[in-house]
Amino acid sequence: MPAWAPLVRTYPHFDPLLTGEKAASIALDPQAVAAHTFYPFIKYDERWTLFAEAGEPGRPKERPIRYAARLDACIFSYYRHMLSEPYERRLEAEGLTETVLAYRRVRASTGKGGKSNIDFAKEAFQYAQALGDCCAISLDISSFFESLDHQRLKSLWASLLGLERLPPDHFAVYKAMTRYAYVEKLEAYERLGFYGKKVGPGGRSVMGFLVDPRAIPVQLCKGEQFRTRIAGGDGSGSIIKLNRTPHGVPQGAPLSDLLANLYLLDFDMQMKALAESVGGRYLRYSDDILFVAPVTAEHATRLEAEARGAISRFGDALVIKEKKSFIHEFAADGMGQIVATIKPEGSNKGLEYLGFRYDGRNAYIRDKTLSALHRKIVASCRAVSIHLERRYRSKSPQEIIALYNFEALYQRFGAVDAFKDKQTEYRNWTFWTYAKKAIRTFGPLGAPMTHQVSRLRRQIRKRLASEVARACARR
């Protein structure tokens, strides 16, 4: 396993910037960690709209993200490093190294580099192809990180260390990860004068940033300001919140992903044995579960019910909702497979897994991924059009478009949602990196993806031309 080195973040938080050497000197000292006072996490909600069929409104969804202060994040990172080695040994001992896929490096068959979501999806679809007549059962654990039982987690943590009780330093980290404190990001910014009411368009009072967000200091406030304005020492009341429930770890902390995997170790063992008992495979990628097995639709329905019932034995907050359970039946024919959706009734899109869709013959980039990208295209084109109109006030829309470098816009789109929070080395992949890698990896199986991608480039050009014309019309 590679040696650990601290990565000191420079995002705005409550603690001062520190050197890597200083962070390491504390993180590697058990006594210092045991005595360390952790700052509250800063929380924001990641919002997006779920994919919906044409003409139907998309349902909004939120994911709470909590990020730690710089030194705290380094401590969490080091303890993740320490726990990774015994966890990997357990996976190897139980034959789970090719079963638990997220938040860890799964080596490619060539021995060079690691596998990504793309490889895992391709292998799952090819496995279904090889079986011919089979069923795929895909399940989703609801609010996974928020549902981990603290007492069970503590017991598993100690067991991984080969101990009955956690040592003081590990216990301090465990407390910081379970009975965690946090503040809402905009609420903290408002208390510190970076965010609040201001005069908006038409003279209306609106909430917004009072300073350029890029000018917000790396250390949000000194210790005295933290005590008075954040903790409420000035009589304004504390805005620090505490997780008082017996469940949950903060999604976004460097240690949370490993703890989530560790928590389901026994469940993974049971589900792998269940799948193998009927000649199939079990895979888990964070909260996404997949069974592929040569069974009938009736047998697959029983397996799905058994898996949903089994998860509840690992914590009363862990739930696989029936409405998030899908069963697809594949039947071999001369050109590949015919797929039928057994559950839910009335849907026949094919098997969706890790950002891709398989219809029995070909693999596609999932509609949800393309829909999310389309929303980014609209927002980006609108912002670019306003900038271009202001820059070229004397030029026509056609002249502005002729001057614009579209490659800059193509590369503008950020990380693909399918990779967020699940495998750190792929977080910075843009959609184009993702699409090119998928086309190359899937080969003939993913032939339709080339058409999907080329169509998007045309959509970007057309959308920007439309937005520039609208911006110029408002002159």
pLDDT score at 57 = 57
Question: 392 and 341: one domain?
Answer: no
What's at 443, amino acid-wise?
A: G
Q: What are phi and psi of 326, to 5 degrees?
A: -130, 140
Q: How far is CA 126 from CA 136, 349, 363, in A?
A: 12, 18, 10
Residues 191 and 70 occupy one common structural domain = yes
226 and 304 share a domain? no
The segments of the chain whose pLDDT lies below 70 read: 1, 47-61, 346, 411-429
pTM of the entire predicted model: 0.85
Q: Are residues 35 and 164 in the same domain?
A: yes
What's the confidence (pLDDT) of residue 48? Answer: 52
DSSP one-letter string for 197-228: EEE-GGG-EEEEESS-GGGS-SB---HHHIII
Residue of 169, 177, 164 lying closest to 247 (CA atoms)? 177
As beta bridge partners, residue 352 has 357
Q: Which among 212, 246, 280 is the end of a domain?
A: 246
Residues 353 and 231 in one domain: no
From 192, 213, 246, give the residue that closes a domain: 246
pLDDT in the model for residue 416: 47
Q: What is the CA radius of gyration of the chain?
A: 25
* Residue 154 in domain: yes
Residues 425 and 417 sit within 8 Å (Cβ to Cβ): no
Q: What is the pLDDT of residues 138-150, one digit of tens each?
A: 999 999 999 999 9
Name the nearest CA neighbour of 312 among 185, 141, 72, 159. Answer: 141
For residue 255, tell me if it sits in a domain. Answer: no
Does some domain include residue 253? Answer: no
Token code pair at residue 340: 């039928």
Q: What distance in Å separates the CA atoms of residue 432 and residue 226, rounded to the nearest whole number?
A: 43
Label residues 430-454 b or e (16+ Cβ within 10 Å = b): ebeebbebbbebbeebbebbeebbe
Confirm whether 257 is domain-assigned: no
pLDDT at 348: 75
Domain containing residue 287: CATH number:
3.30.70
**Residue 219 within a domain:** yes
Q: Which domain holds residue 398?
A: 368-473
In a shared domain, residues 429 and 348: no
User: In this structure, is the dihedral angle defined by the CA atoms of residues 345, 350, 352 and 355, taken in order, positive or negative?
Assistant: negative
Residues 283 and 425 in one domain: no
Is the Cβ–Cβ distance between 177 and 288 less than 8 Å? no
Residue 399 CB neighbours (<10 A): 13
For residues 30 and 168, is the Cβ–Cβ distance under 8 A?
Answer: yes
- Bond before 246 cis per omega within 30 degrees: no
pLDDT tens-digit series, residues 277-293: 999 999 999 999 999 99
- CB of 330 within 8 A of CB of 131? yes
**Is 254 within a domain?**
no
Domain count for the chain, please give it: 3
Distance CA 8, CA 19 (A): 7
Q: What is the pLDDT of residue 204?
A: 84
Count of residues in the chain? 475
Q: Which of 335, 413, 422, 451 is nearest to 118 (CA)?
A: 422
Tell me, what's the pLDDT at 59?
61
Look at residue 330 in the predicted model and tell me its pLDDT.
96
Query: Are 319 and 180 within one domain?
Result: no
163 and 120 within one domain: no
Residues 339 and 386 in one domain: no
Is residue 44 a part of any domain in this protein? yes
Q: What is the pLDDT of residue 415?
A: 45
Cα distances (Å, whole numbers) of residue 118 to 131, 357, 359, 474: 20, 11, 16, 44
Q: Pick from 246, 273, 296: which residue ends a domain?
A: 246
Q: Please check whether residues 469 and 344 belong to one and the same domain.
A: no
Closest CA to 295 of 326, 273, 328, 323: 328
Do residues 46 and 155 both lie within one domain?
yes
Strands 281-285 and 288-293: antiparallel
